[in-house]
Amino acid sequence: VADVVVAETGADMTRFATAGHLASWAGTTPGHNESAGRVKSTKTRPGNPYLQGALGAAAMACAQNPGTYLGARYRRISSRRGPMKANVAIQHTMLIAIWHMGRYGTLYEDPGADFFTRLHPERAKNRALHQLEAMGYQVTLDRTG
């Protein structure tokens, strides 16, 4: 994917003012279809087809890896929105990371598959509690340590 990104965008990321500009140019941002104050579902913006193809394949590879942040993000989004919208969301997330790496010369540090659990531990606890109650268990919580 890196060779396609460099071939299509160039090695200099300063030509894109923000990561959002790169994502918009690549066509991984949502389209805008609003009429009379009602926001309607629409296609993504037209973008670079070569970059979209490479990012799409990379996003599907990330989706199949359960131990990464991108894999966890894919599963969270696909459960609500479906696999195709989740794929585009992962492409967008990858482009944001690529822009930061190219612009500032940083390396990618994967937050891990448990990032969302660490970010919102109360939500994770409540989700597990509701799942147990849905299976017919009565649960009492006691904090240890």
Report pLDDT for 45: 79
Cα–Cα distance measured from residue 118 to residue 102, given in angstroms and rounded to the nearest whole number: 28
How far from chain centre, in Å, is Cα 52?
15
Bridge partners of 109, per DSSP, are none
Its pTM stands at: 0.82
Report pLDDT for 122: 92
The domain total for the chain is 2
Report pLDDT for 34: 80
State whether 64 and 120 are in the same domain: no
Cα–Cα distance measured from residue 1 to residue 8, given in angstroms and rounded to the nearest whole number: 11
Report pLDDT for 66: 86
State whether 48 and 85 are in the same domain: yes
How far from chain centre, in Å, is Cα 48?
19
State whether 62 and 26 are in the same domain: yes
Report pLDDT for 48: 85
Of residues 99, 23, 93, 100, the one with CA closest to residue 59: 93
State whether 30 and 45 are in the same domain: yes
Q: pLDDT per position in the chain (145 positions), as tens?
A: 888 988 988 888 889 999 999 999 998 887 777 888 887 777 777 888 899 999 999 999 998 988 999 999 999 999 999 999 999 999 999 999 999 999 999 999 999 999 989 999 999 999 999 999 999 999 888 888 6
State whether 14 and 78 are in the same domain: yes
Q: Which domain holds residue 31?
A: 2-112
State whether 45 and 99 are in the same domain: yes
State whether 74 and 131 are in the same domain: no
Q: What is the DSSP secondary structure assignment for residue 16, as one 8-state letter?
A: S
User: Helix (H, G, I), strand (E, B), or coil: what is residue 34?
Assistant: strand
Report pLDDT for 33: 77
State whether 13 and 41 are in the same domain: yes
Nearby residues of 93 by Cβ (< 8 Å), 6 or more positions away: 70, 73
State whether 104 and 52 are in the same domain: yes
State whether 92 and 56 are in the same domain: yes
State whether 17 and 63 are in the same domain: yes
State whether 132 and 70 are in the same domain: no
